[in-house]
């Protein structure tokens, strides 16, 4: 299978380049721009993409790739800073632009130049740069320009070097994906070869080779990542895989039952469901600080998991649903290159404590690929399309002190929110895709009147947001009829609640969760 390498010069959108390439069914990986040539060669890339980045080639210490890259003979595509560094290092010239260009721009295509075949001669693109290329290296010619940027795109058909000043990877460049397709399929001669069906088969074979007859244990939360990872490991290991579900009492309505039905009854997997809700509730008694809640929950989870695992047959491996964005070595430049390596453990601390080796079958995948893989493995939409749910569960949605009674109350209100919004989505009353929709129990009581009696009861807040990655989010303008149904049902059906409010704050400056 042909593989593409992406050299990361620190752009915010480097991951998007990888997403687009993979959507075109070509496998790719991101590495820091300073990766030595020997490592690049060992990867055996069919093409290399140089990402954008925040630096200027004129700054001292601005990031440069290994010089050997220029004589490697592999097709190159430089994006923004990637094009500038390619030009500067090979006899071209980069100069500060007359005006910083940021946002939508229109380019005029002068030649097909490897990227533009079949596209109109005027294209909307997304620009984000201060510097621009004033002179190209020998052999490279400009293939597109804009009113302020003479080299919006460039091509050297002998060396198969291409460059663009704009960002083809973002949605604001509507034809960007088509340009990347022309680069991969026409210029580099690649074919789509990265398919989820073959990924599953290859992965199962690889897991079998890796673990042999050994056993593995894995924490199953019911979320998309751990569910897909568990099913993949189960395909490879059968009953040599034991999953542990720790019931914290902080889950949503019906979750434990649905998990039992799917994994135990339908898929016949070895899942030990362990009710530890008393311990979680005891540890949360009197705790109101959100970070304290998170810490205590994390510790108990590890303790309970270890205790359960002690009674299992001896294991050598721990399965985890780690994804690609968690393992990319992202590069940031603050004057000079500093590699910031994100280390990530879904179940922090466990592998070291338990002397287990890690099995992470999803570590090459993005979230949308995990969803496709889950579908490929036959998991139902209810699991694969599940909305994100925070690890600490309802504890960070019950504001103030967490008690079993308040969790029960929130569970009922949350179920109403979920059912009503999902029904509205199905009827087309609400336009998806939504990121999260849930209820929060506020630490506020207020006066109400029910029948002839005065009440002094709890307040439920409804939260519904759109987002692409959880980093920013917009509150959704739910139709009044939907809000009205939710409010009526919660107040009528959930005893102890006499007021429902809707959260109309976006992130930033708010966050999605309230704690
Ligand atoms: P915020 O509230 O920071 O949430 O805007 C962004 C996304 O992260 C989820 N979230 C968490 N997930 N453990 C998790 O596993 C946590 O402690 C946690 N806090 C927030 C949140 O649901 C949203 O999708």
How many angstroms separate the alpha carbon of residue 325 from the centre of ligand 1? 15
254 within ligand 1 shell (Cβ under 6 A): no
In what side-by-side order are the strands of the sheet with 141-146?
A: 27-32, 3-8, 47-50, 76-79, 161-164, 153-156, 141-146, 93-109, 122-135
Residue 510 lies in a domain: no
How many angstroms separate the alpha carbon of residue 501 from the centre of ligand 1? 21
Please tell me the distance from the alpha carbon of residue 515 to that of residue 509, in angstroms, as a whole number: 14
Give rounded-to-5 percent helix, strand, coil for the chain.
35, 25, 40
290 within ligand 1 shell (Cβ under 6 A): no
Q: Is 70 exposed, middle or buried (0-12, 13-18, 19+ CB in 10 A)?
A: middle
294 within ligand 1 shell (Cβ under 6 A): yes
Atom of ligand 1 nearest to the CA of 388: 24
Residues 345 and 444 in one domain: no
Q: Tens digit of pLDDT for each residue in 109-143? A: 999 999 999 999 999 999 988 899 999 999 999 99
What is the pLDDT confidence band of residue 347, given thresholds at 50, 70 and 90?
Answer: low
How many angstroms separate the alpha carbon of residue 98 from the centre of ligand 1? 42
388 within ligand 1 shell (Cβ under 6 A): yes
- The confidence score (pLDDT) of residue 102 equals 79
Q: Which tokens go with 173?
A: 């460049």
Number of domains forming the structure of the chain: 3
Is pLDDT at 333 greater than 60 in this prediction? no
Atom of ligand 1 nearest to the CA of 473: 5
CB atoms within 10 A of CB 1: 13
Q: Which tokens go with 258?
A: 């649905």
What is the residue range of 432's domain? Answer: 397-502
Atom of ligand 1 nearest to the CA of 510: 5
- The confidence score (pLDDT) of residue 341 equals 39
Residues 101 and 10 in one domain: yes
12 within ligand 1 shell (Cβ under 6 A): no
Mutating to test ligand 1, I would choose from 219, 325, 390 the residue with most ligand atoms within 8 A of its C-beta, which is 390
How many angstroms separate the alpha carbon of residue 362 from the centre of ligand 1? 20
Residues 181 and 202 in one domain: no
- The confidence score (pLDDT) of residue 98 equals 66
Q: Domain containing 341 — which CATH number?
A: 3.40.50.620
Phi, psi of 88 (to 5 degrees): -55, -40
512 within ligand 1 shell (Cβ under 6 A): yes
Is pLDDT at 436 greater than 70 in this prediction? yes
Which of residues 336, 356, 384 is at a domain's end?
A: 384
Residue 389 lies in a domain: no
In what side-by-side order are the strands of the sheet with 216-219?
A: 270-275, 241-247, 216-219, 317-319, 357-359
Helix, coil or strand: residue 288: coil
The better pLDDT of the pair 179, 97 is held by: 179
Residue 391 lies in a domain: no
How many angstroms separate the alpha carbon of residue 32 from the centre of ligand 1? 27
**Nearest by Cα to 499 from 428, 432, 445, 440:** 445
Which of residues 187, 205, 230 is at a domain's end?
A: 187
- The confidence score (pLDDT) of residue 309 equals 86
511 within ligand 1 shell (Cβ under 6 A): yes
Atom of ligand 1 nearest to the CA of 467: 24
- The confidence score (pLDDT) of residue 313 equals 85
Residues 355 and 311 in one domain: yes
How many angstroms separate the alpha carbon of residue 297 from the centre of ligand 1? 15
Which of residues 129, 162, 187 is at a domain's end?
A: 187
315 within ligand 1 shell (Cβ under 6 A): no
What is the pLDDT confidence band of residue 330, given thresholds at 50, 70 and 90?
Answer: low
348 within ligand 1 shell (Cβ under 6 A): no
Residue 119 lies in a domain: yes
Query: Residue whose CA is closest, atom 6 of ligand 1?
Result: 470
Residue 492 lies in a domain: yes
Residues 281 and 336 in one domain: yes
Strands 27-32 and 3-8: parallel
Q: Domain containing 480 — which CATH number?
A: 3.30.300.10
How many angstroms separate the alpha carbon of residue 436 from the centre of ligand 1? 11
Q: Which tokens go with 459?
A: 């307040």
Is pLDDT at 348 greater than 70 in this prediction? no
Residues 182 and 104 in one domain: yes
How many angstroms separate the alpha carbon of residue 513 from the centre of ligand 1? 6
Residue 430 lies in a domain: yes
Sign of dihedral through CA atoms 225, 348, 282, 305?
Answer: positive
Q: Domain containing 70 — which CATH number?
A: 3.40.50.880
Atom of ligand 1 nearest to the CA of 514: 2
Mutating to test ligand 1, I would choose from 219, 326, 388, 399 the residue with most ligand atoms within 8 A of its C-beta, which is 388
Residues 281 and 208 in one domain: yes
Residues 222 and 354 in one domain: yes
- The confidence score (pLDDT) of residue 350 equals 80
Residues 373 and 411 in one domain: no
- The confidence score (pLDDT) of residue 99 equals 67
**Residues that are catalytic:** 80, 167, 169
Residues 416 and 290 in one domain: no
Atom of ligand 1 nearest to the CA of 471: 6
How many angstroms separate the alpha carbon of residue 442 from the centre of ligand 1? 18
Q: Which tokens go with 275?
A: 């009710």
Whether the Cβ atoms of residue 183 and residue 160 lie closer than 8 Å to each other: no
345 within ligand 1 shell (Cβ under 6 A): no
Is pLDDT at 285 greater than 60 in this prediction? yes
Is pLDDT at 255 greater than 70 in this prediction? yes
3-state SS of 51-110 is CCCCCCCCCCCCCCCCHHHHHCCCCEEEECHHHHHHHHCCCCEEEEEEEEEEEEEEEEEC
223 within ligand 1 shell (Cβ under 6 A): no
- The confidence score (pLDDT) of residue 101 equals 75
Residues 233 and 163 in one domain: no
Residue 270 lies in a domain: yes
Residues 218 and 148 in one domain: no
261 within ligand 1 shell (Cβ under 6 A): no
- The confidence score (pLDDT) of residue 470 equals 86
- The confidence score (pLDDT) of residue 342 equals 36
Residue 390 lies in a domain: no
The better pLDDT of the pair 328, 392 is held by: 392
What is the pLDDT confidence band of residue 337, given thresholds at 50, 70 and 90?
Answer: very low
172 within ligand 1 shell (Cβ under 6 A): no
Q: How far is CA 151 from the centre of its chain?
A: 33
């Amino acid at each position: 299978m042909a593989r593409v390498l992406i050299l990361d010069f620190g752009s915010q959108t480097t991951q998007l380049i990888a997403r687009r390439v993979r959507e075109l069914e070509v496998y790719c990986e991101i590495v820091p721009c300073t990766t030595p040539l020997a490592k690049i060669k060992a990867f055996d890339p069919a093409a290399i993409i140089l990402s954008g980045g925040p630096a200027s080639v004129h700054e001292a210490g601005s990031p440069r790739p290994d010089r050997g890259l220029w004589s490697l003979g592999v097709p190159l595509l430089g994006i923004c800073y990637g094009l500038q560094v390619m030009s500067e290092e090979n006899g071209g010239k980069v100069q500060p632009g007359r005006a910083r260009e940021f946002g939508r721009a229109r380019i005029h295509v002068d030649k097909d130049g490897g990227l533009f075949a079949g596209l109109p001669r005027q294209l909307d693109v997304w620009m984000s740069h201060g510097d621009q290329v004033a002179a190209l290296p020998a052999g490279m010619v400009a293939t597109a320009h804009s009113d302020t940027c003479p080299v919006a795109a460039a091509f050297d058909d002998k060396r198969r070097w291409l460059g663009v000043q704009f960002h083809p990877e973002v949605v604001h460049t509507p034809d960007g994906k088509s340009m990347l397709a022309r680069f991969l399929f026409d210029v580099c001669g690649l074919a789509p070869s990265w398919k989820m069906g073959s990924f599953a088969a290859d992965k199962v074979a690889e897991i079998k080779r890796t673990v042999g007859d050994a056993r593995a244990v894995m924490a199953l939360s019911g979320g998309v990542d751990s569910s897909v990872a568990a099913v993949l490991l189960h395909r490879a290991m059968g009953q040599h895989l034991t999953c542990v579900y720790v019931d914290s009492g902080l889950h949503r309505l019906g979750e434990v039952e649905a998990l039992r039905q799917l994994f135990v009854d339908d898929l016949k997997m070895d899942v030990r469901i362990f009710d530890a809700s008393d311990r979680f509730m005891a540890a949360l008694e009197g705790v109101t600080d959100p970070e304290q809640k998170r810490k205590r929950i994390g510790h108990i989870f590890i303790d309970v998991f270890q205790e359960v695992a002690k009674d299992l047959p001896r294991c050598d491996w721990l399965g985890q649903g780690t994804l690609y964005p968690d393992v990319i070595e992202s590069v940031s430049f603050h004057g000079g290159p500093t590699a910031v390596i994100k280390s990530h453990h879904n179940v922090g601390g466990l592998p070291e404590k338990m002397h287990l080796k890690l099995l992470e079958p999803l570590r090459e995948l993005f979230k949308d690929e995990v969803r496709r893989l889950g579908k490929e493995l036959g998991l139902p939409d209810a699991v694969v399309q599940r909305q994100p749910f925070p690890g600490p569960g309802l504890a960070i949605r019950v504001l103030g002190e967490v008690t079993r009674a308040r969790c029960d109350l929130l569970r009922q209100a949350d179920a109403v929110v979920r059912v009503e919004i999902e029904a509205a989505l199905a009827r087309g009353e609400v336009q998806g895709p939504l990121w999260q929709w849930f209820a929060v129990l506020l630490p506020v009581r207020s006066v109400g009147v029910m029948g002839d009696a005065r009440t002094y009861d709890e307040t439920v807040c409804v939260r519904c947001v759109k987002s692409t990655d959880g980093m920013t989010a917009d509150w959704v303008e739910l139709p009044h009829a939907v809000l009205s149904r939710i409010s009526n049902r919660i107040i009528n059906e959930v005893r102890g609640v006499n007021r429902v409010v809707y959260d109309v704050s976006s992130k930033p400056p708010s966050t999605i969760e309230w704690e």
